Amino acid sequence: MVLFYKKRGILSLVLLLSLVLLLPLLTGCQRSRTKTGNVVNIYNWGEYIDPSLVKQFEEETGIKVVYSTFATNEDLFVKIQSGGANYDLICPSDYMLDKMKKAGLLEKIDYDKIPNMEYIDKEFLYQAYDPTQEYSVPYFWGTVGIVYNKTMVHEKVDSWDILWKEDYRRNILMMDSTRDSFAIGLIRRGYSLNSEREEELAEAQKDLITQRPLVYAYLVDQIKDIMINDECALAVMFSGDAVEALERNENLAYVIPKEGTNIWFDAWAIPKGAANKENAEAFINFMSRPDIMAINAEYIGYSLPSTAGKEALPEEIREDPVAYPDLSLVDRLEAFKDMGDFTKVYNELWQDVKNQ
């Protein structure tokens, strides 16, 4: 660069020095636009939004979306806690939102900037993960149940017990997830899926170890495709994945076991110190509009926390008992809570199961 300007004499050198002096000011202006201008940095689950809606938001608002994804709640927590990336909007699950709130990692939301909050049903507000309703806006919810192949399973499926039947040895898919797998072991015995009782956890662990030889694989994302391809008889699956699986394979069915299950919630939240907080709130408001919620839900397959959004869906989706089950028929529905330091106990017990 110096040689380039030497060929143009003193005047060019003066101009170069002037540019060097101005560079910090120009960079500062650019940084200012990134922080308070037309940008929103979003960190969400993979395949958890209709891409066309991102484009529509940008066209309607002029705000550019920088979109990144994570695979687990724990990955999200580590990223935000470490401060290694500057995100304006995130989408944690219930227990993780609670954990992040306790750790001081979230901003309070200005609901005056989110008038479409009126379309969120009251029953989904003031949940245990955000009892004061200051830090979140519900996005999707769902259940965990059993998807089974009717050509391979010829008995009534209504209990978690079927996942322990020798008849289905190496034909069962379980989730490679500490909390989800232990939830099944605990609920099956009538215990809370947030149990901290040593004897209850020991029973659940013993059952999971007993089940281990019957399990074909412990997976998460791959479960759906395996079931769609008629490769296993039984699988533990999230309701939203089940909706898609049943649409693509008429041999499949979904049931919430009679002992009860986990009901989960995912919600929008804003990390502490977000540079573009108002843009994040604008995005939340956009995604909470009934017509937008319906487009997104039809694409994703999960359940909306909004009657207005649900009414904008096609009838076959509105009346789908997998996506919108009659929860009054389920004896026990329980959401995960942040277990704090006790999470280490769960992780150690689960590792023992996997090592068998």
Give the CA dihedral 303, 304, 309, 314, nearest 10 degrees. 0
| Residue range 158-187: mean pLDDT, rounded | 97
pTM of the shown model:
0.84
Q: Are residues 169 and 208 in the same domain?
A: yes
Give how many domains the chain has, as a whole number: 3
Structural domain including 26 reads 2-33
Q: Are both 314 and 329 inside the same structural domain?
A: no
Same domain? For 63 and 151 the reply is no
Whether 203 shows a pLDDT value over 50: the answer reads yes
Strand partners, 336: none
Is the domain of 152 the same as that of 248?
yes
The answer to whether residue 9 scores a pLDDT higher than 60 is: no
State the pLDDT at residue 318.
Answer: 94
Beta-carbon-side half-sphere exposure of residue 200 (alpha carbons within 13 Å) = 17
Are residues 69 and 105 located together in one domain of the fold? yes
Residues 74 and 155 in one domain: no
Verify that 190 and 272 share a domain, yes or no: no
CATH of the domain at 78: 3.40.190.10
Report the alpha-carbon distance of residue 47 to residue 303 in Å, rounded.
15
Is pLDDT at 226 greater than 80 in this prediction? yes
Quickly state the pLDDT bin for 330 (edges 50, 70, 90).
confident
Please give the pLDDT value at position 150: 98
